[in-house]
Amino acid sequence: MAELPPDQQKILDEQKAQCPFCKIIKGEIPSKKVYEDDKVLAIMDINPAVKGHILVMPKEHYPIMPLIPPEIFEHLFLCTRDLVRAEKKAMVTPSSNVFIANGGAAGQQSSHFMLHIFAREKASELEVLQLKNVEQDKQKVAELTNMLQHNLKIMLKDRYAKFPIPGDTSAQPAAAPHTGVSTLQGQEQLAQLLEANPQLKQAIIEQPGEVKKLIQTNPQLQQFFAGVDVDLLSQKLKEQQSPKEKSSQQHELDKATEQFSGFKPGGKTEEKMPEEPKPPEEPRPPEEFIRAKDLTDKQIMALLEEKEKLRNLLLQDPEQLKGMIPSNEKLRVFFQEADFEKIKRLAKQVDEKHKSPAKDEDIPEKIEQVKDLDDALSRYI
Amino acid sequence: MEESIKTKIKGTLVYEDAVCFVIVPEKQATAGHLQIFPHASYTDVESIPKDVFVQMFFVASYGATALFEGLKAHGTNIVLRDGKESNGVYDYVYIDVVGRMQNDNVMNLWQPKQLDEATQAQTQARLKEEAFYVGKEIADEKKEIVLDDDQQEAVDEGNNYKIKNFYRMP
């Protein structure tokens, strides 16, 4: 299973400890077993939809389908195929269904991923599986179709490489060597994906260094950007931008990072900043990127006094701020080799001095915009 | 090579590889509704080759993820339709992938049947017997299973022992 962040891993471990199906697998809870091997278990459902209703599950606890590793996935569905055949033979039925629910809204009732096999004698006995056609918003459907046409082949590129269409020269090997710019076909596919995802495109244009660092730490992104020179791509995307698009996107990015650009020489942005309260007690170094470790406590307090929103974030949600630091260059430079707890303590002192308790509504739109950038990048993690 | 059933399915093609294809059907149950078909026409699961079956579900899994992310669906259902009584719209084996939203009333859960213990036990025994063949290659309809060398030797030994005992009988 793909490595999860520690907080998610903790939730998963807690789920596993309480999962009744994990207990069935261990033999702690009795069940009517139909088939078992080292990776998969099939049991009868105690509340069957039809006679012979079987549940098939991987022995390892996976809450949802996308978390199942490919080798287990393959084994699970090879067994499922044979179990469908077995069930139809045992129940002497002409038809069957395999039913999977991902998510509570879809009817998933257990945190342990499983699929259902139903032997079907008559369509009328399980009409809930009948889909009714409903008039849909044509524009929404068109957007979805377009998105799928662009994205599915990219998402499935490893599986496509296993079963390429004969004569199709666009099939790429699963892991292309990192020799520089990818094939023209690969570039076009990437360009199409970026057009469909403007925030990712913007991140590549404005912060190619950040995107490259993110790619280095993430195996899935590495696969996706295999053979792609991010700097060259960034240059090409910049050239493609119209001046108007450039200025509005620059404006958005400036708004997002303005929180940390207060020391820019000249310090002007396209949007007028709201009036800042009192000037700092001590003069600040006029560098674009400030490092907290280079400042005295008083200078840090002066900065925190000005930057109420940063102060509030330090006090209210330091974990969120810590999460943002790696992907934001100015934050990263500021907190580099700095004592985070000390800065937090200084923020508290400033806050107490101003007697202005942090409020949720004070968290700025700008931080939300930086967060949006993280969301756009994390979608591809 | 047999012609693909692609031409017989109504909808917009969104993905295709050598073994299966995905369409957004003309008539949809939700805004995020996909159907996955093997290229060849199969009317039951038993006739679908293993690699085709597995590939269809891989594609279904990624299709469900695409719906989840692209449509911001709250969940997804994946339903294999095998045979005329499986509540499908085609006679071919195919998979429906449906993006779900909370309380959308698309595919509500079934009412469980109350079966007595004896029926359940009987059903379990029949299923276990047939499930013996899971993972084993089936040579023909008579369920002649392919044994490896050690297994065949054990069977031969057993048969020889029985024959010897037969000749000992008065």
Give the per-residue pLDDT at A288: 54
Of A78, A91, A103, the CB nearest to B54: A78
Q: Give the architecture-level CATH label for domain A6-125.
A: 2-Layer Sandwich (3.30)
Residues sharing a CB contact under 8 Å with residue B99, sequence separation 6 or more, in sequence order: B30, B31, B32, B33, B64, B67, B68, B71, B73, B75, B76
Residues sharing a CB contact under 8 Å with residue A198, sequence separation 6 or more, in sequence order: none
What domains can be seen in chain B, in order of their start residue? 5-100 (3.30.428.10), 119-168 (no CATH)
Within 8 A of A87 by CB-CB distance, chain B residues are 127, 130
Q: Which spans in A198-325 are helix H?
A: 198-206, 208-217, 219-224, 230-240, 243-257, 297-306, 308-316, 318-324
Q: Are A320 and A313 in contact (CB under 8 A)?
A: yes
Within 8 A of B46 by CB-CB distance, chain A residues are 85, 88
Highest mean pLDDT among A198-202, B52-56, B82-86: B52-56
Mutate to test the interface with A, among B4, B17, B119, B142 (most CBs of A within 10 A): B17
Whether the CB of A64 is below 8 Å from some CB of chain B: the reply is no
Whether the CB of A93 is below 8 Å from some CB of chain B: the reply is yes
Q: ipTM of this complex > 0.90?
A: no
More confident residue, B4 or A266: B4
**For A67-126, what is each residue's pLDDT tens digit?**
899 999 999 999 999 999 999 999 999 999 999 999 989 999 899 999 999 999 988 888
Where are chain A's structural domains?
A: 6-125, 148-241, 287-378
Q: For residue B15, give Cα distances in angstroms to A80, A81, A88, A170, B56.
A: 24, 23, 31, 14, 12
Q: For residue A278, give Cα distances in angstroms to A59, A111, A226, A282, A343.
A: 62, 53, 50, 11, 20
Whether the CB of A36 is below 8 Å from some CB of chain B: the reply is no
User: Residue B100 and residue B94: Cα distance in Å, rounded?
Assistant: 19
Q: Average pLDDT over chain A, rounded to whole?
A: 76
Q: Are B53 and A77 in contact (CB under 8 A)?
A: yes
Cβ of A153: how many Cβ atoms within 10 Å?
19
pLDDT band at B148 (very low <50, low <70, confident <90, very high): low
> In this model, does residue B93 exceed pLDDT 60?
yes
> In this model, does residue A338 exceed pLDDT 50?
yes
Answer whether B70 sits within 8 Å of A137, measured CB to CB.
no
Q: For residue B40, give Cα distances in angstroms to A302, B3, B5, B18.
A: 72, 7, 6, 10
> In this model, does residue A136 exceed pLDDT 50?
yes
More confident residue, A267 or A323: A323
Beta strands of A8-94 (E only): which ranges? Answer: 33-36, 40-44, 54-58
Give the per-residue pLDDT at A256: 41
Highest mean pLDDT among A268-282, B29-43, B152-166: B29-43
Residues sharing a CB contact under 8 Å with residue A149, sequence separation 6 or more, in sequence order: B14, B15
Answer whether B45 sits within 8 Å of A81, measured CB to CB.
yes
DSSP string covering A137-160, please? -HHHHHHHHHHHHHHHHHHTHHHH
Q: Are B147 and B156 in contact (CB under 8 A)?
A: no
Q: How close is the nearest chain A Cα to the Cα of B97, in Å?
A: 9
Beta strands of chain B (E only): which ranges? Answer: 11-16, 20-25, 33-38, 75-82, 94-100
Task: Return the half-sphere exposure (C-beta side, CA atoms, 13 A cut-off) of residue A336.
Answer: 12
Lowest mean pLDDT among A3-12, A176-185, A364-373: A176-185
Of B53, B78, B98, the CB nearest to A81: B53
Q: Are B66 and A147 in contact (CB under 8 A)?
A: yes
Q: How close is the nearest chain B Cα to the Cα of A187, in Å?
A: 19
pLDDT band at A246 (very low <50, low <70, confident <90, very high): low
Give the per-residue pLDDT at B81: 96
Give the per-residue pLDDT at B165: 65
| Helix then strand then coil, % of chain B, to nearest 5 | 35, 20, 40
In terms of CA atoms, which chain B residue is nearest residue A93? B85
Whether the CB of A126 is below 8 Å from some CB of chain B: the reply is yes
Within 8 A of A97 by CB-CB distance, chain B residues are 79-82, 86-87
**For A343-379, what is each residue's pLDDT tens digit?**
988 898 888 887 655 444 444 444 444 444 445 444 4
> In this model, does residue B166 exceed pLDDT 80?
no
Whether the CB of A370 is below 8 Å from some CB of chain B: the reply is no
In terms of CA atoms, which chain A residue is nearest residue B59? A156
Mutate to test the interface with B, among A163, A170, A197, A381 (most CBs of B within 10 A): A163
Give the per-residue pLDDT at A364: 42
Give the per-residue pLDDT at B24: 94
> In this model, does residue B150 exceed pLDDT 80?
no
> In this model, does residue B79 exceed pLDDT 90?
yes
Q: Are A83 and A35 in contact (CB under 8 A)?
A: yes
Q: Is A35 helix (H, G, I), strand (E, B) or coil?
A: strand
